[in-house]
Structure 1
Amino acid sequence: MKVLSIHTQRWWMSVLCTALPLTVFSQVTPEELANNIGYSVPVSPAFELLPGKPSEVTSLVTPKDIMASVPTFISKDRVKTGVAADIRPFSYLVKASLSEYQGKAKWKQALWRTVLAIGTAADPTTKNDAFLSAGLRTSIIDKGDPRANKAYTDSLSSAYARGLASLPPPTLGMTLEQAAQRAAQVNKKGMISADSVRKLFNKNSWNKFRLDMGVAFMARAINGSYRSDSLKGDRWGVWIATGIPLGENAQFNVTGKATHSIRPTTEQSETSRYVAGGRFRIFMNNNLAFSVEAAQLWANYSKSTSLNETWTHFAAIAELNVPALGGWLTLAYGGDSAHRSHTESTFAFSYAVTTNRIFTK
């Protein structure tokens, strides 16, 4: 997110402080406050458990791709680190045509949407050990699935056909170069025509009802070995989230997630963390949006129950487009309630003046 000039920010800060002379402002920005709690299932649950999320992920489609990628993960009986891949494990088991996919067998849609992720990372605390993580993410219900929407796929085909029809027909005397140029024009024209249909679909389906779930398990590879006697369970996690439409311009999200450490490193290590929360977002128009969210967090420790703690997260954010500033003015109130490991946590106001918005549909 690009931030406006320091001079502009200081001017706005002076205006805000003049208007609210007794208000305590937080060091946490509205963007950090809004992203403090995730209200959806992670795109790749397996990578959430790794100490460092992979920056490059290979997409594997066919069984041949999977077999060819094995040397990428393993070298001389050792796990290579910093490797990640996404696989659709059931896409070949659910060999459904588009018409069958759009039929009544909803379980086929859920299986096709399921993604398996596998990733590795070096253990930053132990020189020779590595982490191997695997996880599944699936949309059990997705009313905004474009592939399952027959009206959308038909409109997409029609739009592409209209794009082709707008071009003059080919001539018999065309050279190979002219034919290649026309083929490029055909593809470009069809894509431009279809793109307008995609944008309209995304605008109308951004908050359709969906129910997502993710699970992941991470093992420690002692000395980097992938042999069964060297793999020790380290951590697991589970996520579930839903998005509920409230009219055309609002959405309510509910989420729950849990992570559990199987092998705590010290007697004071956190063994598990649970989060339950909800968020309401509404886009009044293209220039004004509001978000209100709240979550409860529980942290448990390995040996002493006296270390267990609970705290509350809350955030209310308003985002307004101000053309005179050339960007967005964002005002927020919230934070975390104080707890043992963060005794200075508090609820406070924060603000930002930025060129890009925080909330998008």
Structure 2
Amino acid sequence: MKNYLTLVILLFGNLAFSQNLEGIKEEEKTEKAEEISTEFSIPAIPALELISSDATDISRPSNIKKLAASLYNGIDENGNIKQGLAIEVMPTEYLQINIAPDEYRNNRLKYILYNTQLSLGTIATSGDSTNTDLGWGIRFVIFDNSDPMTNQDFINEFEDLMSDCGPQSPTETVTDDEFKKCLKEKEKPIADSFTKEKWNASWMSIAYAGGTRLRGSEVSEGESIGHQVWLSGGFPLKSWGQFSYLAKWSEEYNDETAMMMKELEFGGKFLIGSKSYNLFAEASLKPLLNKDDFESNVMVETDDFFSWTAGIEFKVSNGIWAVAGVGEDVNRIVGSDGIQLLSGLRMGISDKSRLKK
């Protein structure tokens, strides 16, 4: 019976709790203002990051038939790739790989496999809408201690909750609607307690993205626009904060110079958090690896760049934070550097990868 309940937890718990936990995480710890600081988490959809797409209508087909339909709809009557495509899939959903709950908790390779995500996206090339930039990516979660399905104490507590909501005697009958209503009423305290304890839990993810520019949107007329590799993670600072780290390698085509830029980026961020405010301080170093290619180009700064940001953010309402701080931003293209005062409102975005990277 316990094995059966645990299986139900893994399948139902991800659905029943993910929205609740993500909402709580949005309150407990939100992502910083994207326009003023380094992103210290892996992009949710790596394929869109390389081609600079901000698509919000993401297709997540749930089976092979729907995936084939999405890909078919991404090609026009002339066999050219359509623009505005954004697809994200999890291979385990298509390969019908069964991973038992105890394997999900204790087998690292199977955990990584279950949480692997593939992505594909297209966007009109900047400055030339006849061309299409095609991006693809893959994202792995190495470990995530804020995932409730890896926590045996959480599972035990939820098993007890399910028993309480189920039939209490052999003659009692509980309908599915009654069972779900009972779970919905009693789940929040468990989720609240778990999230409060694990909001800054350790995690690590890696990802890769590649891209090509399709001349005339034709598949046969592609040329590389680059590659990116990320390693990102974090670990708790007792119960009051978190340190996040980032390492990134990129080789990207720059439209202004019409050349490939190869860069490394290393960074770290300290966060002291609560439900009502966050204090943050972060810094990153970005060396240019192919400096010799740009020595004679006055448009490009070839020095190693050091960026920093520090500030405070106060919660205005659920998911909206007021931000104030100071920082020094840098850009390879001359004319964008300097000290900046930061202020304004931002949306707090809960990254689902915090629960299932």
Q: TM-score range by the shorter chain?
A: 0.7 to 0.9
Contact 1:210 1:242 in 2 (8 A): yes
1:83 aligned partner, one-letter code: L
Residue deviations 1:46-76 (CA, integer Å, cap 9, x gap): 1101243222111123223322322122223
Contact 1:253 1:280 in 2 (8 A): yes
1:304 aligns with 2:304: no
1:145 to 129, 144, 147: 147
2:82 to 72, 77, 80: 80
1:242 aligns with 2:236: no
Any stretches of 5+ residues in structure 2 without a counterpart? 1-31
In the other structure, the counterpart of 1:41 is 42
2:309 to 312, 315, 322: 315
In the other structure, the counterpart of 2:264 is 274
Q: CA RMSD in A?
A: 3.5
Q: Name the CA distance, whole Å, in 1 between partners of 2:130 and 2:322.
A: 48
What is the 5 A alignment of 1:219-234? 219-227=212-220, 230-234=221-225
In the other structure, the counterpart of 1:257 is 248
State the shift of 1:275 in Å: 2.0
Contact 1:110 1:140 in 2 (8 A): yes
Contact 1:269 1:301 in 2 (8 A): no
Name the SS for the 1:309 alignment partner: coil
1:260 aligned partner, one-letter code: E
What is the 5 A alignment of 1:187-206? 187-206=180-199
Residue deviations 1:68-119 (CA, integer Å, cap 9, x gap): 322122223110110111111145364212233223x210001111100111
State the shift of 1:290 in Å: 1.7
> Which entry has the higher C-alpha Rg, 1 or 2?
1
1:62 aligns with 2:63: yes
Q: Name the CA distance, whole Å, in 2 between partners of 1:314 and 1:267.
A: 26
Q: Name the CA distance, whole Å, in 1 between partners of 2:331 and 2:45.
A: 31
Q: Name the CA distance, whole Å, in 1 between partners of 2:314 and 2:67.
A: 47
1:147 aligned partner, one-letter code: M
Percent of aligned positions that are identical? 20
Contact 1:335 1:347 in 2 (8 A): yes
Q: Which moved more, 1:79-88 or 1:200-209?
A: 200-209
State the shift of 1:287 in Å: 4.2
Name the SS for the 1:74 alignment partner: coil
1:294 to 283, 289, 292: 283
Contact 1:160 1:191 in 2 (8 A): no
Counterparts in 2 of 1:196 and 1:35: CA distance versus 1, 3 Å:
farther
What is the 5 A alignment of 1:342-361? 342=335, 345-346=338-339, 350-351=342-343
State the shift of 1:153 in Å: 2.5
Counterparts in 2 of 1:206 and 1:35: CA distance versus 1, 3 Å:
farther
What is the 5 A alignment of 1:82-101? 82-91=84-93, 92=95, 94-101=97-104
Q: Name the CA distance, whole Å, in 1 between partners of 2:211 and 2:346.
A: 39
Contact 1:142 1:208 in 2 (8 A): yes
2:108 to 106, 109, 113: 106
Q: Name the CA distance, whole Å, in 2 between partners of 1:93 and 1:329.
A: 45
Q: Name the CA distance, whole Å, in 2 between partners of 1:301 and 1:270.
A: 11
1:158 aligned partner, one-letter code: D
State the shift of 1:331 in Å: 4.4
In the other structure, the counterpart of 1:334 is 327
State the shift of 1:37 in Å: 0.8
State the shift of 1:340 in Å: 6.8
**Number of residues paired by the alignment?**
310
Name the SS for the 2:48 alignment partner: helix
Counterparts in 2 of 1:41 and 1:97: CA distance versus 1, 3 Å:
same
Counterparts in 2 of 1:358 and 1:313: CA distance versus 1, 3 Å:
farther
Q: Name the CA distance, whole Å, in 1 between partners of 2:136 and 2:264.
A: 20
In the other structure, the counterpart of 2:206 is 213
2:285 aligned partner, one-letter code: Q
Q: Which moved more, 1:38-47 or 1:136-145?
A: 136-145
In the other structure, the counterpart of 1:22 is none
Q: Name the CA distance, whole Å, in 1 between partners of 2:349 and 2:140.
A: 26
Contact 2:87 2:120 in 1 (8 A): yes
Q: Name the CA distance, whole Å, in 1 between partners of 2:315 and 2:255.
A: 48
State the shift of 1:294 in Å: 1.0
